């Protein structure tokens, strides 16, 4: 805080006038540096509405160091003139003087002096006029006295060019009384203390106002991962809709459950080395429900249950191959098989967990991602029911405009791609896949013939990337994650409205 003396003096000045004072004028009249007054203004402002200060800026002309010298002693050319005696002066002598060089050429062009180059003993300089009028000095004196307005712009610019004048901008405050103006200053408290509360003297104190423009201190806290926050929301939606969570904690799966049980033929491209991670250890699964395996073999190779089958040589060796599961539908198959071994009751299942693909990686594809899956098994479910359930599910995500496109998937028939209308992009974008499980998958499991099973799936990463505006999946999932992004990410009230 500035010296209290200055503050009070300033307040007294302000009190005496009606319209206000200029900080620069106050500084001049008090004979102090302007910065002292500026500091006093800042301190008074911090006290609340004691004064009000309006920042003003003005331009004015000032003499440079050289200009000040000229104002005192005369211009270089006039000093050259006055140091030349009647008998003249040797040019070499003149040039030794500090103002000699510039003064000589100026005095020459003003025709005040002449050079006799042929003079005996070297060139000699003589006066050519009796007296001179040092206008440069007079102009500078005018500026120095604060009468720069009496000069023409052209004249000022010329002096500026000679580096004798410079134009400066001065900032000052126009100070007027504030709403709670007073000429005395009370010391302000910064914080409320236990002692003040105990003694009650806070009532007499004035408190320094807070700066509400500044940020607070960041809390010391932990954070949940954004993908997991979105996962929690999807999980919540399924639970609200009455879906039971499937145990998907088995990343290693046999080809049998991942493909064969889903009626996916053994030559299907998804079963290639290029698409699926196979295991070398443990390379094979060794235990299958034998009766069921025989029924699966039969429906693939010969057909049955009203199906032509694929009519190929189904091999147990292919089914035994262990893989990293390529979809959580392998777990759905296990669950439906289990369900078929009991007296049938309708079920609704869901899962959200990791799946693995041996694919080419890019900015949006990793070798592992999370699949969201929903399954409903009941008597007489229709395609209309599937679309109805999807409508409810996506409505909970804030997506209400849906349409469906026929598609192909080896284990569902019909198969539908789900599209939602993207208000931002003004077009339909794919948000998931869905379908009705094929009888060739369900009947060998032993489910009743009139039971239909509808299902749908989508990835967790895509909606999360859109929700949190992430373009490169590696910044979201895996060790290259940007922890600052994790620290800064908001809660997930709703998964994104648009994928």
Partner 1 sequence: MPTVGVKRDLLFKALGRSYTDEEFDELCFEFGLELDEITSEKEIISREQGDTKASGASDVILYKIDVPANRYDLLCLEGLVRGLQVFKNKLEVPRYKRVSPLSGEPQKLIITKETEAVRPHAVAAVLRNITFTQERYDSFIELQEKLHQNICRKRSLVAIGTHDLDTISGPFTYTAKRPGDISFKPLNQTKEYTATQLMSLYKTDSHLRHYLHIIEDKPLYPVIYDSNGVVLSMPPIINGDHSKISLKTKNVFIECTATDQTKAKTVLDMMVTMFSEYCAQPFTYELAYRKEKLSGKFINQKVGINESTEKIAHLLTRMCLLSQATGAGDEIEVEIPPTRSDIIHACDIMEDAAIAYGFNNITRTTPRTYTVANQFPLNKLTELLRQDLAAAGFTEALNFALCSQEDIAEKLGKKISEMRAVHISNPKTAEFQVARTTLLPGLLKTIAANRKMPLPLKLFEISDVVLKDETKDVGARNSRRFCAVYYNKSPGFEVIHGLLDRTMQLLEVKPARGEGYHIQTADDSTFFPGRCADIFVRGKNVGRLGVLHPDVINRFELTMPCSALEMDIEPFL
User: By CB under 8 A, what part of segment 15-74 binds partner 1?
Assistant: none
How far from each other are the two terminal CA atoms of the chain, in whole angstroms? 56
Beta carbon of residue 319, minimum distance to partner 1 (angstroms, whole number): 12
Q: What is the largest CA-CA distance in the chain?
A: 138
Work out whether 376 is an interface residue with partner 1 (CB under 8 A).
Answer: yes
Question: 72 vs 272, which CB is nearer to partner 1?
Answer: 272
Q: Which of 316, 348, 354 minimizes the C-alpha distance to 332?
A: 348
Question: x-or-dash pattern for partner 1, window 151-180, by CB under 8 A?
Answer: ------------------------------
Question: x-or-dash pattern for partner 1, window 467-486, by CB under 8 A?
Answer: ----------xxxxxxxx-x
Work out whether 215 is an interface residue with partner 1 (CB under 8 A).
Answer: no
Beta carbon of residue 363, minimum distance to partner 1 (angstroms, whole number): 16
Task: Copy the structure tokens of residue 117.
Answer: 């180059």
Question: 159 vs 227, which CB is nearer to partner 1?
Answer: 227
Question: 209 vs 247, which CB is nearer to partner 1?
Answer: 247
Contact call for residues 363 and 473 (beta carbons, < 8 A): yes
Site for partner 1 in 64-123 (CB under 8 A): none
Contact call for residues 460 and 227 (beta carbons, < 8 A): yes
Question: x-or-dash pattern for partner 1, window 283-312, by CB under 8 A?
Answer: xxxxxx--------------x-xxxxxxxx
Contacts of 431 (CB under 8 A, 6+ apart): 394, 399, 418, 419, 420, 458, 499
Work out whether 239 is an interface residue with partner 1 (CB under 8 A).
Answer: yes
Beta carbon of residue 68, minimum distance to partner 1 (angstroms, whole number): 54
Supply the DSSP string of 88-134, one letter for each residue. -EEHHHHHTSTTHHHHHHHHHHTTSEEEETT-TTS-EEEE-SS----
Say if residue 249 is exposed, middle or buried (CB neighbours under 10 Å; 0-12, 13-18, 19+): exposed
Beta carbon of residue 158, minimum distance to partner 1 (angstroms, whole number): 58
Task: Copy the structure tokens of residue 119.
Answer: 């003079």
Instruction: Tell me the window of 31-39, 46-54, 107-115, 344-352 that interacts with partner 1 (CB under 8 A).
Output: 344-352
Beta carbon of residue 234, minimum distance to partner 1 (angstroms, whole number): 12
The Cα 224–Cα 247 span in angstroms is: 23
Contact call for residues 174 and 56 (beta carbons, < 8 A): yes
Beta carbon of residue 164, minimum distance to partner 1 (angstroms, whole number): 55
Question: 157 vs 392, which CB is nearer to partner 1?
Answer: 392
Work out whether 225 is an interface residue with partner 1 (CB under 8 A).
Answer: yes
Site for partner 1 in 380-439 (CB under 8 A): 380-385, 387-389, 391-392, 403-408, 410, 413-416, 436, 438-439
Give CA separation, 348 vs 238, 239, 354, 404, 439, in Å. 9, 10, 20, 22, 18
Q: Of 6, 32, 196, 366, which one interacts with partner 1 (CB under 8 A)?
A: 366
Helix (H, G, I), strand (E, B) or coil at 359: coil
Instruction: Tell me the window of 86-94, 138-146, 179-187, 279-287 that interacts with partner 1 (CB under 8 A).
Output: 279-287
């Amino acid at each position: 805080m500035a010296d209290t003396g200055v503050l009070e003096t300033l307040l007294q000045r302000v009190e005496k006038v009606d319209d206000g004072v200029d900080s620069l004028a106050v500084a001049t009249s008090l004979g102090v540096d302007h910065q002292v007054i500026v500091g006093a203004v800042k301190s008074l402002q911090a006290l609340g509405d004691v004064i009000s200060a309006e920042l003003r800026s003005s331009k004015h002309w000032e003499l440079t160091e050289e200009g000040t010298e000229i104002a005192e002693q005369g211009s270089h050319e006039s000093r050259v003139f006055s140091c030349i005696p009647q008998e003249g002066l040797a040019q070499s002598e003149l040039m030794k003087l500090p103002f000699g060089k510039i003064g000589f050429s100026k005095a020459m062009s003003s025709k005040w002096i002449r050079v006799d180059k042929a003079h005996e003993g070297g060139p000699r300089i003589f006066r050519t006029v009796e007296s001179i009028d040092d206008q440069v000095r007079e102009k500078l004196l005018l500026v120095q006295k604060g009468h720069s307005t009496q000069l023409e712009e052209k004249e000022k610019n010329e002096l500026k060019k000679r580096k004798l004048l410079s134009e400066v901008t001065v900032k000052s405050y126009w100070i007027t009384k504030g709403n709670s103006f007073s000429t005395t200053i009370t010391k302000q408290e910064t914080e409320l203390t236990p002692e003040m509360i105990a003694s009650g003297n806070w009532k007499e104190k004035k408190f320094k106002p807070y700066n509400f423009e500044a940020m607070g201190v960041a809390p010391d806290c932990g954070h949940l991962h954004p993908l997991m926050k979105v996962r929690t929301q999807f999980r919540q939606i399924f639970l609200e809709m009455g879906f039971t969570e499937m145990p998907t904690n088995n990343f290693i799966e046999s080809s049998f459950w991942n493909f064969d049980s889903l009626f996916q033929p053994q030559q299907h491209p998804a079963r290639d080395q290029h698409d699926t991670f196979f295991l070398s250890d443990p390379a094979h699964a060794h235990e299958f429900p034998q009766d069921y395996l025989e029924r699966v073999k039969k429906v693939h190779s010969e057909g049955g249950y009203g199906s032509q089958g694929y009519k190929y040589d189904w091999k147990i060796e292919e089914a035994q191959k262990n893989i990293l599961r390529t979809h959580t539908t392998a777990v759905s198959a296990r669950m439906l098989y289990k369900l078929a071994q009991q007296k049938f009751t309708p079920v609704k299942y869901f899962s959200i967990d990791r799946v693995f693909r041996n694919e080419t990686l890019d900015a949006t594809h990793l070798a592992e991602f999370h699949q969201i899956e929903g399954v409903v098994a009941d008597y007489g479910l229709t395609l209309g029911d599937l679309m109805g359930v999807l409508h409810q599910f996506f409505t909970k995500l804030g997506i209400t405009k849906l349409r469906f496109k026929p598609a192909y998937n080896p284990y569902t028939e019909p198969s539908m791609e789900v599209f939602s209308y993207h208000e931002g992009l003004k077009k339909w974008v794919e948000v998931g896949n869905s379908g009705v499980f094929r009888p060739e998958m369900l009947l060998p499991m032993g489910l009743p013939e009139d039971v239909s099973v509808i299902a749908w799936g989508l990835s967790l990463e895509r909606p999360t990337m859109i929700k949190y505006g992430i373009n490169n999946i590696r910044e979201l999932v895996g060790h290259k994650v940007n922890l600052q992004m994790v620290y800064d990410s908001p809660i997930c009230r709703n998964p994104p409205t648009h994928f």
